[in-house]
């Protein structure tokens, strides 16, 4: 069996970050660039996924710490929905995504990695963005420089939102 080392996941796996990672972003905007925050709205923010499925995978997250969508005020839910809609449009028009997966895993049993704070995943998709290596080597290939994509995506979001 081949091994692929991913030491950047160590903090996530070992839970070295204190508290809710999303609330940490809400409470401290001084680290927005290091945390790859793309945009801050009134009630929500957009941030790159540290462990993306495809290049450009980011999340829409409410500022309010809640583990259930039904606990969110309507104003927050509507803003999240508007940001999802704008995000999909941006990915299709500015990044020529052929499709977009939108996902929300609710609760640990529902597949949420951070179940205590609801969030949407926005995953741009292109034809042939996955290939045989996932099947035969259980490995994903990330074909784009993460930092360059973060800057480009952030600039396009600021320009269009």
What are the pLDDT digits (tens) for 109-127?
Answer: 999 989 999 999 999 998 8
Domains of the chain, first to last? 7-160 (3.30.428.10)
- Those residues whose C-beta lies under 8 Å from the C-beta of residue 115, and which sit 6 or more positions away, are 67, 105, 106, 107, 108
Residue 132 reports pLDDT greater than 50:
no
Say whether 119 is catalytic. Answer: yes
Query: Which percentage of the chain shows pLDDT scores above 90?
Result: 70
Write down the catalytic residue from 36, 57, 117, 119.
119
- Those residues whose C-beta lies under 8 Å from the C-beta of residue 137, and which sit 6 or more positions away, are 2
- Both tokens of 104, joined, read 């929300």
Residue 17 reports pLDDT greater than 90:
no
Output the CA–CA distances (angstroms, integers) from residue 127 to 7, 21, 87, 97, 109, in the order listed. 29, 32, 19, 9, 30
Looking at residue 142, its pLDDT comes to 53
Q: Which of 54, 50, 21 is nearest to 131 (CA)?
A: 54
Q: State the Cα–Cα distance between residues 65 and 89, nearest whole angstrom.
A: 27
Residue 5 reports pLDDT greater than 50:
no
- Both tokens of 19, joined, read 């508290």
Looking at residue 145, its pLDDT comes to 84
């Amino acid at each position: 069996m081949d091994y692929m080392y991913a030491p950047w996941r160590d903090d996530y796996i070992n839970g070295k970050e204190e508290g809710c990672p999303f609330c940490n972003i809400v409470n401290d905007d001084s680290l927005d660039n290091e945390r790859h925050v793309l945009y801050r709205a009134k009630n929500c923010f957009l941030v790159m996924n540290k462990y993306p499925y495809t290049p450009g995978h980011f999340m829409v997250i409410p500022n309010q710490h809640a583990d259930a969508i039904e606990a969110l005020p309507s104003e927050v839910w509507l803003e999240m929905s508007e940001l999802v809609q704008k995000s999909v449009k941006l990915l299709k028009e500015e990044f020529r995504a052929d499709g977009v997966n939108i996902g929300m895993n609710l609760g640990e049993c529902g597949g949420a990695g951070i179940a205590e704070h609801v969030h949407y995943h926005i995953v741009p998709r292109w034809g042939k963005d996955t290939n045989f290596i996932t099947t035969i080597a259980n490995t994903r290939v990330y074909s784009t420089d993460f930092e360059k994509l973060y800057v480009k995506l952030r600039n396009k979001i600021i320009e269009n939102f």
